[in-house]
Structures are given as structure tokens and as C-alpha cells.
Chain A
Amino acid sequence: MLEIKPIFNALLRSKVGAVLLLIQIAITTAIVSNAAFIINDRIEYLNQPTGYQEDNMFKFNVMMFGTDVDLIQQVELDEATLRQMPGVVNAVHINAVPLTGGGSSTTFRLKPAPDKAKTDTASYFETDEHGLDTLGVELIAGRNFTQDEVVINRDFSKHPNVALATKALMDELFPDGDGLGKIIYMGDQPLKVVGIIGMMKGPWLKLEERKDKSVILPLLYPHKLQQFLVRTEPGQRAEVMKQIESVMHQSYGKRVIQDLKGLDKKKANYVAEDLLMMRMLVILISVLVLVTALGIFGLTLFNINKRTKQIGTRRALGARKSAIVKFFVVENSIICLAGLVLGVCGAVVLGQQLMTQYSVPALSYEYVAITALGVFVMSLFAVIGPAKRAANIAPSIATRTI
């Protein structure tokens, strides 16, 4: 039915062009499937839920250089001032801000140090009883700590003795799910877990084993350098942020306000490198597909020019236009399929290389399959135009030149 044999013979007569096309298709398939896989991996990373209303939150740093003020009193005054501002839901002094790449982490254990016991590493946040509400994360069991439980000092002479922990940490330390109300230790310091928090990402989204594990401690330890976190009513953030510097300076002037940024901006800054990689890969594969399509288009055009006489003769001998189109489509499909076989192998090999040499996860084969299908469809589109043009070659051209 399909004249595979004569087409194949014709192919063998112009091997180089076919081989070039085959190579292009193979490399394109290998690159595109792996790049698409990495892109999707990054998209998942960039869009992962964090547990925060990032658009309604912002942070800022305060650097106190005046010495004529009591830091503890000033922090409490600042918190009260912030909480009274119109549009503000809640605000706290906090030692670290989530999603920023900067914070503290430590080992939490089931027995006091230095006893050997089950341990796990988690980020910790030091803030007061407003912390939970300011962060806006969900308490799924137990209670928040109370104002009386908040320890305020400047010399670590007193420790808090309660804490809130995320479910991810509690599941690790208490696999039976009975962690609420139990004691965990930070060094030799006991902490009773009074509440369990659902989704709450820590400062480091890249540390897979730590990003979901956090502890909130009722502790205020004001340094000269302070961080504040504020959550506002939807749509009020910009207005509140505008006033922060003057509000803070009104209450006390000898300090610098810095890094006043929305939580979404801080997160964007933290993930910028991954976003950049994703964008570069998207551009790379778009251009690559375009170049390959042009290559197929150009080569078919070249083939047709070379075979004008042959086509004319075939038309003169009674071949239908559709037969001519079919000829080129089948020819291209043979090359394309051969290229795809090579490309699929190449994709798998490249995927394995990326996995062994770099921390890229194992390539899932549906990406290869979809890419192969896409490249095949693209090659059909690229060949159909030139093939139609070939079909329109008048038989007279052949008779004229013979």
C-alpha cells in the first residue's frame, strides 16, 4: 500500500541529509524530555504550599544603635504600636522569618542532652503568644501558649518550658501519634508540646528533610538587631508598609529600619535561582524546537528542489497530488521515527547522567513519551507545507527539461 521500499531506496541515495535530520531529532528529543522534566520539578518546588498568606505578610529589620533605651520595653512597645495600626491583623518580634533562607535550627530530642535518644532536626522560631496568629498557620491540636508562658530576657537566665511543633516533626519523634502533651528537649532544656501545627514551612525550602519541621518557642530575646513580622488585612499591606518607618521612628529614633519587604518578595528572592533556571530551560527548549522545525522544513525543501524533475515525471505519469504529499510525509516519518528511537535512548542516558552526577531526580518516562509524540507531530507540520508545494509542481516542468 505505502510505497515504503522505493521511499527507503530514495532515502539511501541522499543519506547525509537524512542522517543530519535524524541527529537533530534525536538530540532534540533527549534535551527536551529532560529539560521538561527538570522544569516541571522546579514548578512543583516553586508552587508548593507554604501554609502562609504570603501576600498579606511582610517583615522588616530594626537595628538599634541608641543605648538610652531598655530593649525589652522598646520591643513590647513596638509590638503594641504595630498591632494598633489600622489594617494590621497581628504583629510580632520574631528571631527568624520563614521562606527567607535565614533562620536557626537545632536538634530536638526525646531525652535531655547528653543522653542518647531519638533526635530530629527542626527550625525554631522565638516569638510570643501572638506568633501563631501572625504567622497565620493552622493549629490542628492542643492550644497556643499563653502570655504567662512567654519568657522575656536578655541573658538566657530563664527558658521557656512549652512549645508548639509542626505535625511533621511530631510524626517523626512520636510515630504513634501521641506526642501532644509530651516533653521534648532542646539540649537539656525540657519543652512540653502544648499544640500541634499543620502546614508551616521553615526558612529553608531546599532542605527537604527540614522544611516541614518547625518549633515555635515562647521566648523574646531582643538583640540590637531585631526582626518583626506583620500580617495585614487583605489589600492593606502596601498602605501599612508605607507607614512603618515613620511609626517606628516616632516611638524611638536612634535606629535603622531595613529590609522592609513582603513575604512573597522574600520568598521570590529565595527561590530566584530556581526560577531563573526554569526560565532558561523554557527558553532553551522553545528555541531548540523552533530550530529543529526549521531544520526539517529546510531539508524537505532542499529535497524537493533536488527532485523537481522526478516529481514532475511522476505527476506526468499519472501520480496524484496526494501520492506526492504522502511520499514526503512517509519519508520524513521514517527519518523521524529512527531519530526518535535514538532520541529516546539518548534521553534515558542523559537522564541517568544527570541523576548520577547531579541531584536531579530520576527521569520519569512519560516525559520522554510525550516529547517523542510532540516531536513527531511537529515534524509532520514542518513537512506538510513543502510537500504540498511539491505536489503542485506541474508535470510540464518535467517534460520541458527532458
Chain B
Amino acid sequence: MLSHYIDLSWRSFKRTPLVSFLMVLAIAIGIGVTMTSLSVYHMMSMDPIPNKSKKLFAVQLQTMDEVETWFSSDDLPYQLTYKDTTNLLNADLPYKRAAMMKTGFSVHLNSDKVKPFFETTRVFSRDAFEMFNLSFIHGGVWSIEQEESAAPVVVISQSLSKKLFGSDNSVGQTLYLDDLSMRVVGVIKDWQLHVKYYDLNNGSFNDPEQIFIPFSLIKANEINTWGNTNGWKYEVVKTFSDKLNSEKVWLQFWVQLNNAAEKQAYSEYLANYIAQQQTQGRFNRKDAQYKLRDVNEWIAYWEVVNEDNKIMVALSFMFLAVCIANILGLLLAKFLRRAPEVGVRRALGASKRQVFYQHIVEVAMLGLFGGVVGILIAQLGLLGIRQSYSYYDSLANMDLIMLLTAPVIAIAACIIAALYPAWLVCKTNPSTYLKTQ
């Protein structure tokens, strides 16, 4: 029966090409506009590491004195001090953890082969590679001994390896970060992310780094951050070791907790840690605060999806509503003109339900066409966004979910628009039209 209805619908399109075209156009424009803003929204809010997002937690500690406030929504500093980071990193606990920081160097080979270039670099502790699902294609992470002794070793991405050494496998090769001579111990598959969730402090949609060096190098080589350093009280910071001992926050810390029990245990550890630090005169607050936020909570907390995007999504759905109202009007015109024909079919024994279904199938097909054309319009819109704002390059794209969502919304919108006209047409009284035949 369905194929018969589809056949009827196709004939109907051919009979009234202009009205059908207008309807397809209306739905296509509505879908095009809606999908453009929805795709960006979807990419921004998408879980960046679905199989682990519930297990990875960003750690925040309330280091500020009682009366101090911060610009975050809950007054908690976004980052940690060096003191706390190293204490948490070195704690005797079974949980995987990652201390990190954004920095950068001029990269060169100390020869004329490659022109020196700037490159942002991530300072990482060992577990970070496993925690964030970075997979090695050659070599591996530096050893515990290397981490502890601040060995000059580096992990680089596949593309950087190709750029510097012309091959995927550069393990054992030497590269220079400024004047530091570093030996490559591992090459990872390029880290591709839409949202740089592990360090939202320094821009949400920047490209992930391609160079990774041990955390212990910060102290050994006085490596400074390329991200934000924030302070909340007056401190004399003249030397690098002043900074390491200060209450300034400039490092990120993540911990992997596999279940509720582990989270509970780690929370208790943090509470104890704060209590213990309080005996040393830090954390001067009555309520010792800390916070563990998982990846998606962290993204929401940072408001990665900004207001503009939410406003655009809301407005585009209202726009879609206008398109639906338009289609409803056109459908009324189209269906009612067909009333005599329906009258005959009803007289010949078609049930109201069958007539109703037939019309719904017809508009569903309209919706499908409109959805497909809408995807093309949305691609144009996304192209415009990428041209206008290169920072959104990786966001202004439709993934498979969005490609499937487009026709679903289009068909649903059309069916909603068609309910009333189809109902009107199927309750046609056959006798009215039989008389005039």
C-alpha cells in the first residue's frame, strides 16, 4: 500500500509542480537555517570522549581566603597552584592522574633542513596519554624514571613527525625546543578534538598540541605557562621559584575515577588534604571546598556553548515555525483543491484512514526532499561560518547525527503542518462532490 501511496504522491507533485516546489523550498530554507545553527551547537556541546567522560574529573580547590571572590560562577579558581598540583600528582593513590600546562617553543633541528617555527606544547604527566585515549603508533610514553629525573624527552604527533623528519617513526631522533635538545620517545596518532575540553582556560576550540613533554621539566627548566596565570592576593613574585611557591593558579589537573566508590574515596582524600594544608596556614576558609567535575560537567561549567549560539538556535527554530505555517497554508490550498477527487475515492470505498495516510505519505515525501535540499543550504551556511570565523573550522560541520537529524526534523515538521489539512480533506463528504460530477 505504501508504494502505491508513494506513487500517488509522485503523480501529485508532477500535477502541481509550482506549489510543490514552493513547499519544498519553504521547508528547505527552514531546515537549512535551523541545521546551520543546530550543527554548530551540536558540535560545541558534543561529548568529546564518550567512553570516558564520566570517569575523568577536573579538580578544583578553593585556595582563596574567606572573603575573596573569583570570576567563576561558584567562586572556585579554575586552575591549581604548583604546590597543590605536585602534591596531588605525587600522592600515594591508585588513581590515574594528569597534571598539565600549555606552553610553547620555537621548534628546530639545529640545522638548515627545517625552518624554525613556533609550536604550542603541552606539559603532561605520564598517565595523561592513557587517560585521554592518546594512542601511540611508535614508541611510547616516557618512563617513570625519566619523568622523575626530568629527562629531556618528548612525545610528538604523527603530523609533526612527518613535518620534521619526513617519516611517521621518529623515535630516537633529536629535536630542539628553543635551546633544549629533546629526544623523541614516542609518536602518537594526531589528537583530533572539536572542543579542547582538557584546558578550557586557554580557549575552547584551539587545535590540540602536537608536542608533549614531562611535567617535571617545568621546575627543572623553568618553563613558563603560555596560558593564564591568575592571582588573588598580593605576593612578591620575582623569581621562578617564587612562582612555584606562590598561591598563583596556572596549572590544570585531572584524575580518573572509575566508579562512584573511587570518586567518594578521592573526595575524602581531597577533604583530608585541605584539612592538612589548613594546619600549614593555607585554605583559610571555614568550608573547605573542592570540586570534581566530569568532562561534560566541566564543559557546561565553562559555558563552552556560548549565549550567541543558544540565541541563534532558539531564533532558527522560531524561523522554522514560520516556514511550517507557510507550508500549512500551501497544503490547505493544495489538498482542498483535490477534494472532488477524494470524494470519488471515498465513494468508491476508501476509508477515511486510508485517505489520511495517503496525504501524510505525500507530505512526508515533501519533507524528505526539503530535508535533502535543506542539508545543501545548511552546508552553504556552514561554509559561510567557516569563512567568516576560522576558529569555528572544526565546529561548523555536520556529522552523521546531524545529517540524519535534518530529514527527520524536516519530515516531522511537514507532518505536523499536514495534520490539519489532511484531516480536513479526509472528512470530505463524498456526496457533495458526486453531485457535481
Contacts and interface: CB of A to CB of B under 8 A. Distances in A.
B319 A256 contact: no
Given A225-B104, A273-B306, 10 more contacts: A16-B332, A65-B105, A65-B176, A255-B106, A255-B116, A276-B389, A276-B392, A288-B322, A302-B329, A358-B310
B326 A287 contact: no
Interface in B312-368: 312, 315-316, 318-319, 321-323, 325-326, 328-330, 332-333
B238 A298 contact: no
Given A31-B318, A288-B322, A276 B29 contact: no
**Residue among B26, B108, B322, B323 with the most chain A CB within 10 A?**
B322
Given A27-B318, A277-B308, A360-B311, A65 B329 contact: no
A318 interface: no
A359 B307 CA distance: 8
A299 B329 contact: yes
Interface string A58-76: 0001011111000000000
Contact of B329 (A31, A67, A295): A295
B272 to A, nearest CB: 30
Given A65-B106, A187-B234, A358-B310, A21 B319 contact: no
A272 B389 contact: yes
Interface of B: 22, 26, 29-30, 33, 36-37, 104-106, 108, 116-118, 176, 178-179, 224, 234, 236, 238-239, 306-308, 310-312, 315-316, 318-319, 321-323, 325-326, 328-330, 332-333, 381, 384-385, 388-392, 420
A178 to B, nearest CB: 26
A400 to B, nearest CB: 16
A275 interface: yes
B141 to A, nearest CB: 26
Contacts of A17: 329, 332
Nearest to A188: B234
Nearest to A223: B224
A302 B326 contact: no
A165 interface: no
Interface residues of A, number: 59
Nearest to B224: A223
A20 interface: yes
B106 A21 contact: no
A193 B8 CA distance: 84
A66 B29 CA distance: 57
Contacts of A223: 224
A216 to B, nearest CB: 21
Given A277-B308, A280-B37, A291 B315 contact: no
B329 A28 contact: no
Contacts of A255: 106, 116
Contacts of B308: 273-274, 277
Contacts of B179: 65-67
Interface of A: 16-17, 20-21, 23-24, 27-28, 30-31, 34-35, 38, 61, 63-67, 113-114, 155-157, 187-188, 223-225, 254-256, 258-259, 272-277, 279-281, 283-284, 287-288, 291-292, 294-295, 298-299, 302, 305, 354, 358-360
A24 B315 contact: no
B391 A272 contact: yes
Instruction: Determine the main DSSP class of A at the interface with B.
Output: helix
B106 to A, nearest CB: 4
Contacts of A305: 333
A281 to B, nearest CB: 8
Given A27-B318, A187-B234, A284-B316, A291 B311 contact: no
A289 to B, nearest CB: 10
B118 A31 contact: no
6 contacts: A65-B108, A157-B238, A188-B234, A254-B116, A276-B388, A287-B33
Contact of A27 (B117, B234, B322): B322
B222 to A, nearest CB: 11
B33 A284 contact: yes
Contacts of B389: 272-273, 275-276
A155 B106 contact: no
**Residue among B236, B310, B388 with the most chain A CB within 10 A?**
B388
A343 B391 CA distance: 36
B319 A284 contact: yes
**Residue among A34, A259, A276, A360 with the most chain B CB within 10 A?**
A276
Nearest to A187: B234
Contacts of A16: 332, 420
Contact of A272 (B106, B311, B315, B388): B388
